[in-house]
Structure formats: C-alpha cells, structure tokens
Amino acid sequence: MSESEVTTEGVRGTRPGREATTGTSAGRRWRRKRRGEQPVVPPAEFTSYYGKPVLNPPVWESPDIPGYLFLGGLAGGSSLLAAGCDLTGRPGMATAAKTGAFAAGVLSLAGLVHDLGRPLRFLNMLRVFKVTSPMSVGSWILSGYVPSAGVAALCALTGRLPRIGAAATAGSALLGPAVASYTATLVSDTAVPAWHDGYPEMPFVFVGSGATAAGGLGLLAAPAGETAPARNLALFGAGMELAAFERMKRRIGMVAGPYSSGRGGRYVRAGKVLSLLGAAGATLGRRSRIASAASGAALLAASAATRWGIYHAGMASAGDPRYTVIPQRQRLRERAKTAESPGLPAAG
C-alpha cells in the first residue's frame, strides 16, 4: 500500500510501497570522498552493519580521562625536574615542581576514580596485581607514587624532615617516568584502532607530552634564575612528542585519520601550534620573566591539547566501522597473498 500526502504543492512523500527494493539499504558501501586526503589503503569494497561500529566505544569521559592522561604526564615529569633541582641546588623550582607533581598526581587519581562506574569500589583495583592490565599496574604505580610525591611536597613546603623529604623526592623521581609512560600502554592495550595501532610510538608521545608539561610548569612557577633546566626539558619534550606523533601517523596510514580530522584533529593541531609557540617563546624570551611564564603556560596547554586530541581521535576511530574493518580486510588479503606464493617465506 503506497502512502502519500496530497498537498496544494502536489504529491509529497511518495513511498515506494510494493515496489520497495528491499535490501538495497543494508550493508552500506563506503564511498570515497572526492576532496581531501586519499586513503593509503586502496578503497576496496567496504561493508558494515548499517554503518554501526563494530566495537563498543570506550565509556571513558572527558575531562576525567584525558585529564588523567595529561596530569599523569605532568606529575611524572615534574618529579624528575624536582629531583634534578634538589641535586643542582635550585630550591625555588624544586618546591614548585614537587607541589605541582603532588597536585597533578592527586587530581589524576581523582579523575580516574571519578570516571569509575562505581567510584566507591576503587579499592577493588588493589585486590589483584595483573601485568596484563595496564590499569592494574597503573593503580599500583599511582598508589606508590602519590603518597611519595605528597611527602616530598609537604617536606619542601614546610622545610621539615629534610632526610625523609629527600628520600620521598628520590622515590617519586624513580616512579615518575613510569607514571608518565604507563598511560600510553593503557590506551594502546585496547581494540581502539587509532590507539592500538600506534602502540610503538604512543609512549614516546606521552612522555614527550609529559616533559613538555613539566617544563612548562617549571617556566611558569619557578624563580627567574632557576628556569634553564625546565626550558631544556620542555624543548626536549616538545621535540620528542612532535617527532613521535608524526612517525606514528605516517606508519599507521588510514587509521590515523581521526588524528587529522574532526574534533581529535582540531585538538592535535592546537597542541602542535601551542607547542611550537611555547618552544619559540621559551627560547627567544629566556631573559624575560613574563615571556618565560607565558611560554610555560602555552606548553602546559599544548600538552593538554595533545592528550584531548588523542582521546577524541580514539573515540572517533572506535565509533567508525571503517577503521576496524578496512585494516583487518587488508591484513586478510595480505595473508592470502603470502599463502598463495609459496616461494616467499611466510611473514613471521
């Protein structure tokens, strides 16, 4: 039965009725966009179930989880900076870095707990230790790191118990790099294409971003005469982050799409621009207290923007079946090709 509405402007909403061509809307075909980047993978036939994602996208929310990634990097980098300042006699920056590390560590933990579906059950994370679960490993690292960073910060701020303070500073500097890097494994150890496929470079992006943030905080908060190591750390971090990110995007091909487009792409681009501005400002404005502080703020913002970009890109890649199906199809085709040519050794 064909149903349509007759209006003064003619027949509207004509439905095909019995002539409906069933099945033509199932299994959408992916059409290549005319404009923009060409996909690296040949646009072979792509089908999906009504365009619905294959994966269930992460339920992790912003700002909790991207904030947790950013603050973990900031805390880890700052603890290293603090230990170095203690060793080289830069008490002003040491106190700033210790306080920053502790605050970032606590907030990072708070973000993680707040994002749990059952926050009161946080301690369930500590009923087991599993190296196969980066979140389990991370919970144990954080539960060692945060108290240690807290003692270091309190001793520095109050000036009491210097020996315990020194031990706590050393302890948090030892755990700091782990705090900054484990979150990369955490996001990579998922089926989310943009996160998983980037796993070799991801930790370098993360520690680079952490060093950028820690250097930025040092430039922002430390007295003028003590900022040189913070500036150097920020430049090192920004360089490593940008280089690792570029390498990752190039290697993973079409799966890197969400790092360049959409919300994730906008954050990543903002991070890049802020990073370059901050690095330039920190280098050129090294004599100026104000220029240094402004560069520090830009570097902190750059690190945060990168983390938010990675978060949103991951969400986008999980929500689009293209990023799951096309690389897997490609893998199957290559495996079939290898199997067909017995002369070639099988890919290990």
149-188 residues near other proteins, rule: CB under 8 A: 176-178, 180-182, 184-185, 188
Query: Considering only residues 66, 76, 278, 296, which one is a binding residue for other proteins as defined by CB under 8 A?
Result: 76
Query: Considering only residues 59, 158, 340, 341, which one is a binding residue for other proteins as defined by CB under 8 A?
Result: 59
Answer yes or no whether residue 60 interacts with other proteins by CB under 8 A. yes
Distance of CA 29 to CAs 26, 76, 308, 321, Å? 9, 46, 31, 12
User: What residues numbered 201-230 form the site for other proteins, per CB under 8 A?
Assistant: 201-204, 206-207, 210-211, 215, 228-230
Query: Between residues 36 and 291, which has the closer beta carbon with respect to other proteins?
Result: 291
Query: Between residues 276 and 325, which has the closer beta carbon with respect to other proteins?
Result: 325
Torsions phi, psi for 46 (to 5 deg): -130, 120
Answer yes or no whether residue 26 interacts with other proteins by CB under 8 A. yes
Query: Considering only residues 29, 50, 158, 341, which one is a binding residue for other proteins as defined by CB under 8 A?
Result: 50
Answer yes or no whether residue 243 interacts with other proteins by CB under 8 A. no
Please tell me the distance from the alpha carbon of residue 160 to that of residue 292, in angstroms, as a whole number: 31
Please tell me the distance from the alpha carbon of residue 180 to that of residue 159, in angstroms, as a whole number: 27
Please tell me the distance from the alpha carbon of residue 79 to that of residue 145, in angstroms, as a whole number: 10
Q: How near is the Cβ of 8 to other proteins at its closest, in Å?
A: 29
Query: Considering only residues 44, 128, 164, 284, which one is a binding residue for other proteins as defined by CB under 8 A?
Result: 128
Q: How near is the Cβ of 160 to other proteins at its closest, in Å?
A: 26
Query: Between residues 185 and 260, which has the closer beta carbon with respect to other proteins?
Result: 185
Tell me the site size for other proteins, rule CB under 8 A: 93
Tokens 């070799």, located at residue: 200
Query: Considering only residues 75, 153, 155, 192, which one is a binding residue for other proteins as defined by CB under 8 A?
Result: 192
Buried b / exposed e over 167-205, threshold 16 CB at 10 Å, is ebbbbbbebbbbbbbbbbbbbbeeebbbbbbbbebbbbb
Please tell me the distance from the alpha carbon of residue 59 to that of residue 307, in angstroms, as a whole number: 17
Mention every residue, 6+ apart, whose C-beta is less than 8 A from residue 22.
Answer: none
Q: How near is the Cβ of 158 to other proteins at its closest, in Å?
A: 25
Query: Between residues 17 and 159, which has the closer beta carbon with respect to other proteins?
Result: 17
CA atoms within 13 A on the CB side of 71: 22
